Structure 1
């Protein structure tokens, strides 16, 4: 497996040297080691994974600062960044297949939905407890099936918010399947945060994510 820091962010290529491409979108903390680790895990599963650096080098472990950076994100610029990252990844010599996947976490989960509406290259989108108050994807432009993972005890993305998301996507005539894990909190997938990490939920969600990409992205 090869990992490199690229102008777009962090790129992980599988040992085999090629595979379908997947964008990995950061939480509100920035492009931190946890997100790079997810890209590495995808590369180990046979995918070429690119984690774009949407904060352009800035990271934090302070919730207050992360909240400020999330709210300061220029959504129009982020949409352009996502489209450019998708174009770069699709054209990368290691990437096989016509369509890309996208997976995002927290802020990145909502941006994954945005990416799937601004780029025609996205063929599968995975949303882990996505939230951003200023990101409102136009689901009429969604051309990829969506898989969503949520925590029953998530105070940021409540069960009501999940139902609203499902309704919005299905009313637009698009496809979404979701899983809500009993007792799981926001960021249950983040194994660098033991106070919220839920190993059982994370393992199940990961297996479903890999199976979803295998179903929808040609090798």
Structure 2
């Protein structure tokens, strides 16, 4: 049964974020959470919808990092957003995400927390998963792992994906124009070579980069990929946040 939710923008240690919170049932506060790492759109309408859906369908508090500190696709064109992306340093992004995780654990009292990201956020989900072994899941939709790392990329995503201890879910579009297939294969091998944690890997051969975004659903291959993958992602979140899957 879906949860009723409340959603709002909040400020955490100077960082703007968007949070969707399921209303407690029977007076019991929620103990699970998901940190959302957006695509280039920032906390635009699509990412807010994802947060609301995760909270409503899984009962987890859904807190979204804001990579652009107030700018989003709601009010900025993609030239502006790409300019911001070019300046985004790995160390800065990870430090902000870790600040939000600390808030979720210490201030909100959440006990089982996972991370989900799209595009650039999918790449950061793998990085964060390799650094933080207390996460209960890591989900990445069409993670942006380019053929040549950007000058601002200082983390090796494949190495960190191999180091993750949480159950992992990855959805990759076979017609991704940004991420070479060999990088997907390297990520797949890194995940599947882990000996203690399960991995679920989806390949949608005809889908394109960013297929989760509704603006790309005018192409049937993208809409179909999302319709197949999203319900499974929600079920994966529910299963991993509800059980004791955190690594020791």
TM-score, with length taken from structure 2: 0.79
Further displaced range: 74-83 or 129-138: 129-138
Scaled by the length of structure 1, the TM-score of the pair is: 0.88
Whether the aligned pair in 1 keeps the contact of 2:169 and 2:201 (CA below 8 Å) is yes
Match of 1:3 in 2: 7
8 Å Cα contact 2:44-2:72 kept in structure 1: yes
| Gaps in structure 1 of 5+ consecutive residues | none
Map Cα deviations across residues 46-83 of structure 1 (whole Å, 9 max, x no partner).
11100011221122453333332222112111111111
CA contact (8 A) 1:153 1:182 kept: yes
2:105 to 90, 93, 105: 90
Q: Does 1:28 align with 2:51?
A: no
The match for 1:161 is 183
Secondary structure of 2:43's counterpart equals: coil
The equivalent of 1:203 in structure 2 is 227
1:1-219 equivalence runs, <5 A: 1-7=5-11, 8=15, 9-16=17-24, 18-45=30-57, 46-60=59-73, 61-93=76-108, 95=110, 98-132=111-145, 133=149, 134=153, 135-137=155-157, 138-139=160-161, 141-171=163-193, 173=195, 175-195=198-218, 198-218=222-242
Distance of 1:141 and 1:150 partners within structure 2: 20
CA RMSD of aligned residues (A): 2.2
Of residues 193-202 and 129-138 in structure 1, the stretch that sits farther from structure 2 once superposed is 193-202
Contact 1:139 1:172 (C-alpha < 8 Å) held by counterparts? no
Unaligned runs of 5+ in 2: 244-248
CA contact (8 A) 1:22 1:103 kept: yes
SS across alignment from 1:56: coil
**What SS does the corresponding residue of 1:214 show, helix, strand or coil?**
helix
Residue number in structure 1 paired with 2:246 = none
8 Å contact kept, 1:106–1:130: yes
Q: What is the number of equivalent residue pairs in this alignment?
A: 217
